[in-house]
Amino acid sequence: KGLVHYWLTFNEINMIFHLPWMGAGIVFEEGEDKEAVEWKAVHHELVASAWATKIAHEIYPRNKVGCMLAAGAYYPYSCRPEDVRAAQLDTQHELSLIDVQARGAYPAWVKLMLERKGIDLGMTPEDKKILAENTVDFVSFSYYSTRCSAAPTTDAPRTQGNAFAGAMNPYLEKSQWGWAIDPLGFRITMNELYDRYQKPLFVVENGLGAKDTLVPDGKGSYTVEDDYRIDYLRKHIAALRDTITEDGVEVWGYTTWGPIDLVSAGTGQMSKRYGFIYVDRDDEGNGTLKRYRKKSFYWYKHVIATNGADLD
The active-site residue, picked from 12, 38, 45, 94, is 12
State in Å, rounded, how far the first CA of the chain is from the last one: 39
Q: Widest CA span of the chain, in angstroms?
A: 67
Q: Say what angle helices 34-59 and 125-133 make with each other, to 10 degrees.
A: 50
147: Cα within 13 Å, side-chain hemisphere:
23
Backbone angles phi, psi at 194, to 5 degrees: -70, -40
Question: Is the peptide bond between 258 and the residue preceding it cis, with omega within 30 degrees of 0?
Answer: yes
C-alpha to C-alpha distance for 258 and 278, rounded to whole angstroms: 11
The active-site residue, picked from 38, 45, 94, 205, is 205
Residue of 95, 107, 39, 35 lying closest to 67 (CA atoms): 95
205 belongs to the catalytic site: yes
35 belongs to the catalytic site: no
C-alpha to C-alpha distance for 312 and 299, rounded to whole angstroms: 8
Residues involved in catalysis? 12, 205
